[in-house]
Amino acid sequence: FIQGKIDAFLGTPPQPQELRAKKIGHTILNNAVDRPWSQYFCCMISATTDYVNRYPVATKRVLRSILKAADLCVSDPQWVARQMVDRDFVPSHDYALQTLKDIRYDRWREFDPEDSLRFYTLRMQETGMIKSSPQQIIANGTDWHFLDELKRELKT
C-alpha cells in the first residue's frame, strides 16, 4: 500500500493511526463511525454448543470478563492504553488511546446482537459466502441467555 502496489487494505490498530500520522492514504470505511456498520456489533464471541453445555459457569465467567473489560475501556481509557503499550499490544500510547476512543465499547448494552448477526449474515449471503438465511443461522446457532443475564447483572 505504501509503495503503491495495492490500492487499499483492511487495517487494524495501530496501522490506520500510523498511516494517518504519516499522511499516507485515506480512510474509505471506518466501521466504528460509518453507518450502517457503526450501528452493529463489530465483534461477537462464540463457543461450541458442547462447551457451553459442559461448562455453563465458565462460559458465563468468560463473557462477564469480556464485558467488564469493555466497561473498563470506557471508564479509564488512559489506564487501558498504558496497559496496551506496557504489554506490547501496540507501540504507542497515543495510538492506543485513539483506538479506545474510536471504538464504542460503551454500546454493548444498547446493540441488539441478533440484529447484528442478521446484518452480517445478509452481507455474507449477498457475496455468496454462505447459503443459509439469517433466520436459519439465528434459530440454529444462537443463544442469548448468558448475555441477557449479564446485561441485567452489570447494569451500572
b/e sequence 108-135, b meaning 16+ C-beta within 10 Å: beeeebeebbbbbbeeeeeeeeeeeebe
Residue-wise pLDDT for 73-98, tens only, equals: 999 999 999 999 999 988 889 989 98
Using DSSP, state whether 100 is helix, strand or coil: helix
Distant-in-sequence, close-in-space partners of 89: CB < 8 Å, separation ≥ 6: 96
What dihedral do alpha carbons 12, 124, 62, 146 form, nearest 10°?
Answer: 140
Q: How far is CA 68 from CA 75, 100, 153, in A?
A: 10, 15, 11
12 with 42: CB under 8 angstroms?
Answer: no
Q: DSSP labels for 118-153? A: HHHHHHHHHTTS--S-HHHHHHHH---HHHHHHHHH
> What does the pLDDT read at residue 17?
82
CA distance 24 to 21: 8
Q: Residue 21's pLDDT is what?
A: 85
Distance CA 70, CA 45 (A): 13
pTM of the model: 0.81
Predicted pLDDT of residue 156: 62
What is the average pLDDT across 44-66? 94
